[in-house]
Amino acid sequence: MNGALPARSDLSAIVVGAGPAGLAVSRELKVRGVEHVVLERDEVGAGWAGYYDSLVLHTGKHLSHLPGMTMPKDMPLFPPRDRFVRYLESYAARFELPIWPGTNVVAARRGASEWLVDTGQSTLSARSLVVATGIASNPRRTELEGEDHFAGTILHSSEYRHPAPFVGRKVLVIGVGNSAGEIAAELGEAGVETAVSVRSGAHIMPLKILGVPSQYWSVLLSRLPDPLPGAIAGATNRALCLMRGRPPIPVPDWPVLAKPPLIGNSLPEAIRSGAVTLRGEVERVSQHAVHFRDGSEERFDVVLLATGYRPAVGLLEGLVRLDAGGFPLRDGVHSLDQPDLYFVGHVYGTTGALYTIRRDAPRAARAVAESM
């Protein structure tokens, strides 16, 4: 949709965000005949389009599509960023979803019996509010002691696109999540002198096990009763370590399924080959050096903070409680703090965020329809 966003009071629902979660919810609402709009401050899939150029999904296309539309047959098993963004655009067009791009939601608040959503230009009201803002727009930037005196450059991984700007510079990547691993490996392979700072370590899982995406195995495990999933995953991880040798990254003290693992072998292989060096936890930075907790120090030109993201739920400030990770407290898709408030796309586990979205979008849409 284009044009000025009208002030309306006859909507049954407002969806905030036109990423995968918002699109899936919108399609499910439309199927159920629920009058709604999707408010998006940029364009469809803008969060995904803003990630680094070489990004490829770790989740297979068979379990990463949205409700009602599988991915094209010629889509690679692990979709690259640009192809996935085009899939999102095609999804929105195919179902003619009521999206208002360029509409920034400033705040949402409760009225007497409805939600009031302020866009800065108008206020919309609806009985139900679905927050599908994800995390891409809210980078988690860790402040380093002494960073004001650092003569080099400190960036968040959300600002990274490709290795070219870093050629000839010495880079320290802080973090060992999937973005950190891929970016560090890509920099090292491009000839950039790169080190990665690891604090607690990470469990490593290959992209495929026996030729099948690791995610598919995770989905199967998630259907088993406790404690079988953890036991099987732990045994599998130990077997893989025996086959591949001791991992070059410290093994953490939490169970394999407690947090999303580092998927793929690009970083371990880069460390083994010497393209990337391993460093411990950062203590502080000074004008020309990074100081580590083991007492060592080293000069770097760039510090890249691959410290993740937090849920973009600032529009609800003061209205909902957040857990330690910044995620709103909820029961499934239902807010624990406010009526007629739903969250989709705020679960990140070993089965994959997109798989969870396909499960949760119909749940939220069904709840909205039943409340009408």
| Angle 245-249-250 from CA coordinates, rounded to 5° | 105
The two tokens of residue 37 are: 């709009």
Of 92, 101, 106, 88, the residue nearest 48 (C-alpha): 88
Kindly state the percentage of the chain with pLDDT values over 90: 76
Residue 25: is its pLDDT beyond 90?
yes
What span, in angstroms and rounded, lies between the C-alpha atoms of 231 and 155?
A: 39
Answer with the residue of higher pLDDT: 252 or 5: 252
Instruction: Give the model confidence (pLDDT) of 319-336 as tens digits.
Output: 999 998 899 999 999 999
What one-letter code names the amino acid at 246?
Answer: R
pLDDT for residue 181: 96
Instruction: Quickly state the pLDDT bin for 3 (edges 50, 70, 90).
Output: very low
Instruction: Give the model confidence (pLDDT) of 32-65 as tens digits.
Output: 999 999 999 999 999 999 999 999 999 999 999 9
Question: So where are the chain's domains?
Answer: 11-138+309-371, 147-305
Lowest mean pLDDT among 95-109, 129-143, 247-261: 247-261
pLDDT for residue 156: 97
pLDDT for residue 1: 54
**Distance from CA of residue 309 to its chain's centroid?**
7
Of 204, 212, 178, 181, the residue nearest 63 (C-alpha): 212
Give the architecture (CATH level 2) of 11-138+309-371: 3-Layer(bba) Sandwich (3.50)
Give the architecture (CATH level 2) of 147-305: 3-Layer(bba) Sandwich (3.50)
pLDDT for residue 233: 82
Answer with the residue of higher pLDDT: 163 or 352: 163
Cα-Cα-Cα-Cα torsion 222, 224, 226, 229, nearest 10 degrees, comes to -60
Instruction: Quickly state the pLDDT bin for 6 (edges 50, 70, 90).
Output: low
Give the H or E element holding residue 245. Answer: none
Instruction: Quickly state the pLDDT bin for 9 (edges 50, 70, 90).
Output: low
What span, in angstroms and rounded, lies between the C-alpha atoms of 169 and 166?
A: 5
Q: What is the pTM of this model?
A: 0.93
pLDDT for residue 274: 96
Kindly state the percentage of the chain with pLDDT values over 70: 98
- Per DSSP, 322 falls in state B
CA distances from 323 to 82, 271, 326 (A): 33, 34, 5
Instruction: Quickly state the pLDDT bin for 234 (edges 50, 70, 90).
Output: confident
pLDDT for residue 176: 93
Residue 75: is its pLDDT beyond 60?
yes
Q: Which string of DSSP letters, residue by residue, matches 110-173?
A: E-SSSEEEE-SS-EEEEEEEEE---STTSB--PPPTTGGG-SSEEEEGGG---SGGGTTSEEEE
Residue 5: is its pLDDT beyond 80?
no
Average pLDDT (85-99) is 98
Answer with the residue of higher pLDDT: 166 or 351: 166
Average pLDDT (227-255) is 82
Check: CB of residue 46 under 8 Å from CB of residue 160: no
Residue 270: is its pLDDT beyond 50?
yes
Taking all residues of the chain, what is their mean pLDDT, rounded to a whole number?
A: 93
Check: CB of residue 328 under 8 Å from CB of residue 362: no
Answer with the residue of higher pLDDT: 301 or 253: 301
What span, in angstroms and rounded, lies between the C-alpha atoms of 156 and 309?
A: 10
Average pLDDT (182-197) is 98
Fold match between 11-138+309-371 and 147-305? yes
Three-class secondary structure of residue 37 per DSSP: strand
Of 110, 171, 147, the residue nearest 283 (C-alpha): 147
Average pLDDT (292-321) is 95
Residue 77: is its pLDDT beyond 80?
yes
